[in-house]
Structure formats: C-alpha cells, structure tokens
Amino acid sequence: MRQTSRPVALLASESAEAQDALQRLQSLYETVDPELAEVVVALGGDGFMLHVLHRFMDTGKPIYGMNKGTIGFLMNEYREEDLAERLDQAVQSEIRPLQMTAIDEVGMRHTALAINEVALFRQSYQAARLKISIDGRTRLEELVCDGVLVATPTGSTAYNLSAQGPIIPIEAPLLALTPVSAFRPRRWRGALLANRQVVDIEVLESEKRPVNAVADHREVKSVQRIEIREVRDLSSLILFDPEHSWDERILAEQFRY
C-alpha cells in the first residue's frame, strides 16, 4: 500500500461510480479519518465538491477533487496512479464565501453561507419585482425578472455562466451581479462589483409575487429582503493540478465556441 507525504482522507459521493473509485483508492493508498487528515480528496461531481468545501471551511485543510460526476469544473481528472505526486504538485487557491441574510414573510431572519452564489427566484407564475441597492445606495428601483444572483469567482462558471454572466478569475476581488431573464430593464445585463461591496435586495409586491432565496443548497421561501456580502474571515482551500489550473479553465471556457 502506497504512502502519501501528508495524511490523506478520502470522501466520495453516494453515486455507484464514486463509491467504486473510493474502494479502489483505499486499496492502493494509506488513508486516515478526515479529522486526522491534512488533505481531503473528494470523489464525485461539483455538487459533492461544494458540500466538502462547506464541511471543511476554515479548517485549513485543502480539498483536492477528482471527477466522478458530470461536468466537474471544480474537479481534477480522475486517475489512480501518482496520487501522492499530484497532491504535492497541486496549486492551492483560497475561496471566500458569501453570507446571505434573508428576512422572510413573518420577519424571521435566516443566515447561510454560499461558495458559488446567492440567488433569488420567482416562486409563482408571475415575474419577480426587485429593488437593488449597493452599499446602501439604490441602483435599480425596479428589476422585473425571473430572478437575480450574486456569484463568487468560483460560482461564476456555474449558474451565473448559464445566465450569461461574466466569468471571473479566482483571485479577482470581484463579484458578479447577474439577472435571470430580465424583462425590465430588458437590456440590463448585470454588473461587476468589488468584493467589499454589500448588495441589498428588496422584494416588491411580495405577497403577489413571492420570491425564494438560495445560498448554494440552503433555500429560504418567501423572502422580503436579503443582504449579500463576502465574508472576509472565512475561507475554503481548493487544489488543482498545475496543468489544469483554475486560470487555465477560465481561459479555455472564454475561448470556447
């Protein structure tokens, strides 16, 4: 059984393919429990990677993903050989989460963290009406849309990209504010924000046009107001192979046609 230079833990999603990979790697390498590990190897897709990044946030343990899912934008290629060498050579990036603070229809306050994005979506057949402020100054009196999202650089290649939002390099101090199917103003395509700026969104006509808020996998129904800001004192660490770094993925995605 092969050793790695640092204690390594293996975690896998519930898919049959990921569980099969877990068993094969466990037969090849010495591993430890996650609490004792210095590096965590995650086997699955991007959704599972998000779960693992949340779990080990602010622990100082970097996460190295190997793709056993579908797209795998946050993952490295799955290979069983040379795992120790790949971990030693991997490039580390720091991810800072967003904090969502939402007030629902009964005045209850909900707080959640998001590594990818915080998104608001219409709950019914009617479009949402939203008022958007940045750092306390109103920038859009009314956005009529299916929804709107604030994405981190990590999340800029996820739902944000599908909504025609900009792709952001992982080290850039920026956030993407992107509308989903904007009806009015129809030509507004969103904005790039400094990561120090705070986004406030008020739901207009909330009884007639209810809106839900989602921070990664945490959903709050029938929100009235929501505040979104980057958390500067929390972080997750992610590892990429040097030949397939985040910067390379960003460039490749932007030149895809």
Catalytic positions are 46
User: What token pair was written down for 188?
Assistant: 């507004």
* Residue 51 is assigned to a ligand binding site: yes
* Residue 233 is assigned to a ligand binding site: no
* Residue 4 is assigned to a ligand binding site: no
How far is residue 162 from each of residues 121, 126, 151, 158, 249, measured CA to CA in Å?
15, 21, 12, 7, 16
Task: Return the closest-CA partner of residue 208 out of 77, 90, 105.
Answer: 105
* Residue 9 is assigned to a ligand binding site: no
Token pair 């009015």: residue: 184
* Residue 156 is assigned to a ligand binding site: no
* Residue 239 is assigned to a ligand binding site: no
Token pair 């996460």: residue: 63
Name the CA dihedral angle for 110, 112, 117, 120, rounded to a multiple of 10 degrees.
Answer: -10
Cα-only R_g, the chain: 20
How far is residue 15 from each of residues 12, 62, 109, 157, measured CA to CA in Å?
8, 23, 35, 23
* Residue 161 is assigned to a ligand binding site: yes
* Residue 146 is assigned to a ligand binding site: yes
* Residue 159 is assigned to a ligand binding site: yes
Token pair 């025609």: residue: 164
Annotated binding site: 46-47, 51, 116-117, 146, 157-162
Q: Which residues are annotated as a binding site for NAD(+)?
A: 46-47, 51, 116-117, 146, 157-162
